[in-house]
Amino acid sequence: MNDSKAKLYGWSVVLASWLAVFCLFGYRATFAILKGPMSADLGWSQAQVTLGYSLMMVFYAVTAFFSGMILDKWGTKPVYAVAAVFGGLGFFLTSMIHTHLAYLFTFGLLAGIATGMLWVTSTVSVRKWYVGKTYATMWGIAFAGAPMAQFVLAYITKSSLAGDDPHAWRGAMVTLSIIIFIALVIAVILAKKSPENYSMKPFGEMPTPKGGKAAGDHDWTVKEAFSKYAIWAVVLTFLTSMMAEFLIWTQVVSYWVQDLQWNRDTAVNIYAIIGLVGIASMPLMGIFADKVVNGVGHEAKGRKIMLIIGPSTGVLACVLLLMSGNGMFWAYIASVIFAVYWAIVPGGVVGYTGAIYGRKTLGKIWGLATLIVMGIGPFTGSFIGGLLKDVSGSYTYSIYYALGSFLVSILLAVSLPLVAVPKRVEMPAVEAMAVGGGHK
C-alpha cells in the first residue's frame, strides 16, 4: 500500500472513532437536559428517571468487555454496526414509552449495549493504528468528539425543548436517534481492521532500544495480563481518577448554586467551559503527550509521566474550586484545568496499557479493565458526593474527597511499571524489553 493510501486509512480510523465518541458522549450529555421534561410529562420522580441512566452505565460496563473481544477477533466494523442499531433504537423507542419498565429496557438495556460498544472500540482501534510517538495526538483528535457532542447535541436538545409542549422531549429523542444512527453508519463505512490486514505497520513505532532488540508483540491472554501488576496499577489509577471526575461532574454546579449562592444559569455557563475548552485541549494535550514520549525515548515511561500529570491537574482544579468562594475567576480557571485533565487521563491509560501489552489482544484486556473501572468509578464517585452532601449539608466535603481521590491516583501512577514480562519470553528478549528501566 502506498503512503498516501495508508495515511488515508489511518485518518479514516480516527474519524470513525471521533464519530463513536461523539455518539457515546451524546447519550451522556443530553440526559441531564431530557430528564426534567421526562419526569414532568410522565409523572415520575427524579430517582425513577435517573435509574434508567444508572442501568445504562451498568450495561455499558458489561458490554465493554465483550466489545473488546469482538474487536480483537473480527475488527471494528461489526462493533460499530451493532452500536448503530442499538444506539438508534435506544433513543427512538424511548421516545415512545409510557411505562417505567419499558423505559428501563429501551434506555437502560438498549442504550447501555450501544454505548458499551463505543468506548473500548474507539480507543483501541486508534491504538492499533497509532503507537509510540503518534498515538496521543491522534487519539486527542478523536476524543475531541466528546466535548463537541456536549456542545452541539446539548444545543440541539435544548432547541427541541423550547416552547410549552410537555411532550417535546419525545421529538427531541427522535431527532437524536436519527443523528446517532447516521453518525454510526458513517463510522462503520470508515472503520478499518488492524494495519496488518493491509500489510502495514502501525504509525509511530518507537526506535529499537540501543543495545537490544525490539520486543515482540506477545499474544497475551486476559488471565496472563491480569496476573501482572501493570494492569492492576493502571486500572486503579484510572478508577480513582474516575471516582473524582464523576463526583465533580455531578456535584460542581450544585456546589456553586447551593453552597455559594450563584445564579444557576451562571453556574451552568461556567461548567460549559469544560466542554468548549476540551475541543481544543484534547488534540493539544495529545501532541504534548507524544512530545513527552519522543523526548524520553520510551513509550511506557512517557505515558506514565502523563498519567502522573493528569490527576495532578485534577488536584489543582479541586483547589481552585475551593477558592471559588473568593470570586468566580477561580471557578473559570478551574473549569479550564478540568478540561486539561479530561484530555490526558482517559486516553493516557489506554496508551500506557498498549505500550505494556502490545496491540494483538489489547481489545479484550482493555475491555475487562473498562468493565472494572466503569462498573465502579462513576457510580461510586457520584454516590459518595451525594452522601457527603446529605451528611454534612455542604458540597465542600465532596470536593475534598475528589481532591483526595486524585492524590491517590497520582501515587498509583508513580508506581506504574515500565514493562510486564510474559512467562514464555526468553531471557534475552526480557533484557531488551527492560532497556530504559522499570519493574518486572
- Say yes or no to pLDDT of 151 above 50: yes
pLDDT recorded at residue 425 = 53
> pLDDT over 70 for what percent of the chain?
93
Residue type present at position 282: M
The CA–CA distances, whole Å, from 243 to 138, 321, 374, 377, 400 equal 26, 17, 9, 5, 12
Start-to-end CA span in the chain (Å): 38
pLDDT recorded at residue 426 = 45
Q: What is the mean pLDDT of residues 298-314?
A: 96
Cell numbers for 417 = 511499571
| C-beta atoms surrounding 197 within 10 Å | 9
The CA–CA distances, whole Å, from 41 to 83, 139, 157, 181 equal 29, 40, 16, 26
DSSP result, 182-208: HHHHHHHHH----GGGGT---BTPPPP
How far apart, in whole angstroms, are the C-alpha atoms of residue 55 and residue 76? 25
pLDDT recorded at residue 213 = 43
| Best CA proximity match to 350, nearest among 407, 411, 395, 303 | 303
Q: Structure pTM?
A: 0.83
pLDDT recorded at residue 2 = 67
Residue 130, strand partner residues: 203
pLDDT recorded at residue 131 = 87
153 and 29 Cβ atoms separated by less than 8 Å: yes
Cell numbers for 325 = 468562594
The dihedral sign for the CA sequence 245, 235, 133, 295: positive
Q: Which stretches does DSSP call E strand in 264-309?
A: none
Domains and CATH numbers, the chain: 3-194 (1.20.1250.20), 222-433 (1.20.1250.20)
State how far Cα 375 lies from the chain centre.
13
Q: How confident is the model at residue 265 (pLDDT cuts 50, 70, 90)?
A: confident
95 and 174 Cβ atoms separated by less than 8 Å: yes
Q: What is the mean pLDDT of residues 294-302?
A: 93
Q: What is the mean pLDDT of residues 248-261?
A: 86
Q: How confident is the model at residue 72 (pLDDT cuts 50, 70, 90)?
A: confident
Q: How confident is the model at residue 214 (pLDDT cuts 50, 70, 90)?
A: very low
Cell numbers for 53 = 441512566
How far apart, in whole angstroms, are the C-alpha atoms of residue 362 and residue 379? 25
10 and 203 Cβ atoms separated by less than 8 Å: yes
